[in-house]
Chain A
Amino acid sequence: MSNLIDYKLADVGEGIAEAEVIEWLVAVGDAVKEDQPVVVVETDKSQIEIPAPVTGIVKSLGAKVGDVLAVGSNLMQIEASGAVSKDMAAHAAAPIAEVKQTSSQVATPARATNIRPLASPSTRKLAASLGIALEAVTGSGPNGRITADDVTNAKSGSGAATASQDIDPSISQADGNGVTLIQLRGLRRQIATSMSEALRIPHITEFKEIDATALMALRSELAPQFEKDGIKFSVTPLLMRACVIALQNHPSFNARFDSEMGEIRQYDDINLGFATATEDGLIVPVMRKANDFTISMLAKQTEQLAELAKTRKATSEQLGGGTFTVTNFGSFGTWLGTPIIRPPEVAIAGFGRIAEKVIPVDGVPAVRMVLPIVVAADHRINDGAHLGAFVSDIAKLLLNPESLVK
């Protein structure tokens, strides 16, 4: 501890702010004794003598006669001849103590009895306006709190948009009476919610079967190039390309519909989602601006995104914002299906299993590879005629597949 004291002018009168120096009673170099008066000052209350706080030598004076000093400013410096007591060191040395800025908020303790989902009042309002039940949303905030983003992601029906949980096998309980209880959790719960919502859409569905001979031939022709790059080439990229081209001619199917606001948004770009089966359930990764993709890019992107989806590593960017969905249920053997539109999209194209069938060719029965096409559309946005034209276009493209690779 240095023995040099910065002796400051104290508040000697209960609330004075400053004092005028009237007379110095000591000079630089003088020896002073503790309590010896060193200076006379005048406040607006009275004139007072200020004494020395320690015994020592005056090193410097901090003001001239006539100066007005603010309380807290330096009167003088004294080199103390003995030890300086604790209270003096704090008073005189006085570096402004750093006030540590700690968060004044007490962290919300996790309460053991958290029966209700946690969400701020504004998030609750948002969820209510979107028709989303908070119990079905998994929260990504602290203590499992549901954020506004969690709600909007749940609304876009992207399924695993947020860090969702796999169905924990431990949740299933076999009760020994032939009944196994499985709680609806995680992805399954989200799918359930989305599906329930989707059913509010009035679906019209058109079926068409086409001769897939040319399509299959094109597939075989292109396959080797991809196999060289280690990519297994199926007809799916060709089917996707057909949808993309057809959508460009029928923009009313490449849209998102906000039913509450009554607004349809038609998009120039096509964000194509494709249904991918995973262990836990159906996930739909989305290829943004698929209209710019070549077949090759479609093939590669599909494979990559499918992999990410299966390993649950897809980001919310990759899982949301779709404008049209393709589902290839033929890949798991289904002939015909009734695909369900993913709100807020307005249509979905499904493709069944390509299989041999007897169809008329030039007036006589022939056995051909037949591709079932099913397209469902939101009847609030498009009518049967529109849908018919759209599906015809897809069919035409697939019947003449060279047009797809141009």
Chain B
Amino acid sequence: MLGAAWKSAFMSESRFLPSFEPIAPFSRLTDSGILDSGESPMSDEAVLEALRYMMLTRVFDDKATSMQRQGRFGTFSSVRGQEASVVGAATALDPAKDWIVPQYREFPALIRHGYPIENFALYFMGNPKGGTIPPNVNILPMQISLAAQIPQATGLAWGLKMQGGDGVVITFFGDGASSEGDFHESLNLAGIVKAPVIFFLQNNGWAISTPRENQTAARSFAERAIGYGVEGVIVDGNDLLAVHEVTSRAVAKARAGGGPTLIESVTYRTGAHNTADDPSRYVDQQELEKWQQKDPVERIKNYLRSRGIWNENLEQELLDSCAAQIDVAMDIARNTSLATSDALFDHVYSEPPQRMLDQKSDWAKRNGGA
């Protein structure tokens, strides 16, 4: 049998016991939204701002799904069920100096950071112009190749540090993506160079139809960090305050030169993987209902109600305001000129080869001009 010295040689962090007992994710709110005895990590204004982004996402997701059914949006992935996870993390950042390196399920984080909603819509309408990122908006484009953005986030953070800045980088990805080699190579490098990067792993229970249990034998995703000499922490992803607190601490640590953190945000995807998916084929109805009752938006509203600063009127006002904001953006996107053949060629190179330029004009001639 393993002796005590042998056991303790394995793990030194108290949170990670060698006994493989399940770990309780860090949380501040009860399931019904009541804060624990400590101080709230977010002011009322901050929570209201966060709620706005969560509602905006709900409204947008519904609109986008409808657009997809009409054939006006391509395949689309909603954030449904993960609003607190994304927004709690996003609100810990400073858009002026920090960077977001997204996967594709982080709409509210990108919008808060300055990415125009109409560009996001254009992207899903299949117009390359949608990929346009305005100057001074510190985000990378959405990434379809899972986990490929993680090394880039590491390099970006490392580069910022090298140049003496104090900006940090957060990169979002899922439980599925964390099985890719890029995830492991990135954590490894980040640990070596102490890059100021937050690896935000949204464990939403599914990679399309692959449940979390089939993704890894590890007890948690967060403890993989130890293997790379990096700190890891598990948080209740449906608890806006907890997510915000944990992320803020990681951001502060990174800013101060303390290096990277792996945050595992335990949440649940209550919608489909994307508009082409039918989750009823593999999701257990009871499990889904259980998680729907822990809806993150309801939970934070309950918190606000418990503080006496939320009611039906405010709810309706917020809904209307979000709908109006989305409508304006959709209007712009829908009335943007359709992409011409030039969209195939523009921005591929800084200095295009002649052959490509010839192709561009051939295409323009054949397709009725730019």
- Whether A and B touch (Cβ < 8 Å) is answered with yes
Within 8 A of B (CB), among A51-78: 51, 53
Q: Check A87 against B72 for contact (C-beta < 8 Å).
A: yes
Is A200 positioned at the interface, with any CB of B under 8 Å from its CB?
A: no
Chain B hits for A9, CB < 8 A: 71
Counting chain A residues whose Cβ lies within 8 A of the other chain, the interface size class is: 20 to 34
Q: Please count how many residues in chain B sit with their CB below 8 Å of the partner chain's CB atoms.
A: 28
A227 part of interface (Cβ distance < 8 Å): no
B69 touches A49 (CB 8 A): yes
B337 interface residue, CB < 8 Å from A?
Answer: yes
Contacts A87-B334, A102-B366; A14 near B276 (Cβ below 8 A): yes
Contact A45 B278 (CB under 8 A): yes
Contacts A85-B334, A86-B335 supplied; 10 other A-B pairs, CB < 8 Å: A14-B75, A14-B275, A14-B276, A35-B66, A46-B280, A48-B69, A87-B333, A87-B335, A99-B366, A99-B367
> Which one of B69, B71, B337, B366 lies within 8 Å of A91 (CB-CB)?
B71
B63 contacts A by Cβ under 8 Å: yes
B72 and A12 contact, CB distance less than 8 A: no
Q: Which of A14, A46, A50 contacts B70 (CB 8 A)?
A: A50
- State which residues 67-92 of B face A: CB under 8 Å: 68-72, 75
Supposing A100-B368, A102-B365, A102-B366 touch, asked if A88 and B72 sit within 8 A by C-beta, the answer is yes
Q: Which residues of A contact B366 (CB under 8 A)?
A: 99-100, 102, 104
Give CA–CA (A362, B362) in the complex, Å: 89
Residues of B with C-beta under 8 A to A87: 72, 125, 333-336, 338
- A-side contacts of B365, CB under 8 Å: 102
A99 CB contacts on chain B under 8 angstroms: 366-367
A86 and B69 contacting across the interface, CB-CB below 8 Å = no
Residues of B near any A CB (own CB < 8 A): 62-63, 66, 68-72, 75, 125, 275-276, 278, 280-281, 331, 333-338, 358, 362, 365-368
Asked if A35 meets B63 with Cβ closer than 8 Å, knowing A85-B331, A85-B334, the reply is: yes
> Nearest A residue to B62 by beta-carbon distance?
A35
For B70, what are the chain A residues with a Cβ–Cβ distance below 8 Å? 7, 10, 50-51, 53, 91
Q: Are B72 and A91 in contact (CB under 8 A)?
A: yes
24 A-B residue contacts at CB 8 Å?
Answer: A7-B70, A9-B71, A10-B70, A10-B71, A12-B69, A12-B275, A13-B275, A14-B275, A14-B276, A15-B276, A46-B278, A50-B69, A85-B335, A86-B335, A86-B337, A87-B125, A87-B335, A87-B336, A88-B72, A88-B334, A90-B338, A99-B367, A104-B366, A106-B358
Which residue of chain B is the closest to A11 with respect to CB atoms? B71
Q: Give Cα A338 to B69, complex, Å.
A: 93
Instruction: State A51–B69 Cα separation when bound (angstroms).
Output: 7
Chain A interface mostly: loop
> In the bound complex, what is the Cα–Cα distance between A35 and B67 (angstroms)?
8
Chain A residue at minimum C-beta to C-beta distance from B336:
A86
| In the bound complex, CA of A12 to CA of B74 (Å) | 9
A53 adjacent to B278 (CB under 8 Å): no
The 8 A CB mask of A219-243 against B (1 = contact, 0 = none) is 0000000000000000000000000
Q: In the assembled complex, which residues on chain B have CB atoms less than 8 Å from the CB atom of A15? A: 276
Measured between C-beta atoms, what is the minimum distance from A148 to chain B in Å? 30
Bound state CA distance, A104 and B366, in angstroms? 9
Q: What residues on A are CB-neighbors of B69 within 8 Å?
A: 10, 12, 48-51
- Residues of B within 8 Å of A91, CB to CB, are 70-72
- A203 close to B (CB within 8 Å): no
Please give, as numbers and ranges, the residues of chain B lying within 8 Å of A8 by CB-CB distance: 71
Query: Closest CB of chain A to B285's CB: distance in Å?
Result: 15
Known A-B contacts A10-B71, A50-B69, A51-B70; A106 and B362 likewise in contact (beta carbons under 8 Å): yes
Given contacts A12-B275, A45-B278, A86-B338, contact A53 B62 (CB under 8 A): no
CA of A45 to CA of B275 in the docked complex: distance in angstroms? 11
A86 pairs with B278, CB closer than 8 A: no
B337–A12 CB distance below 8 A: no
CB distance from A103 to the nearest CB of B (A): 10
Write out the residue numbers on chain B whose beta carbons fall within 8 Å of the beta carbon of A106.
358, 362
Q: How far is the CA of A35 from the CA of B73 in the complex (A)?
A: 13
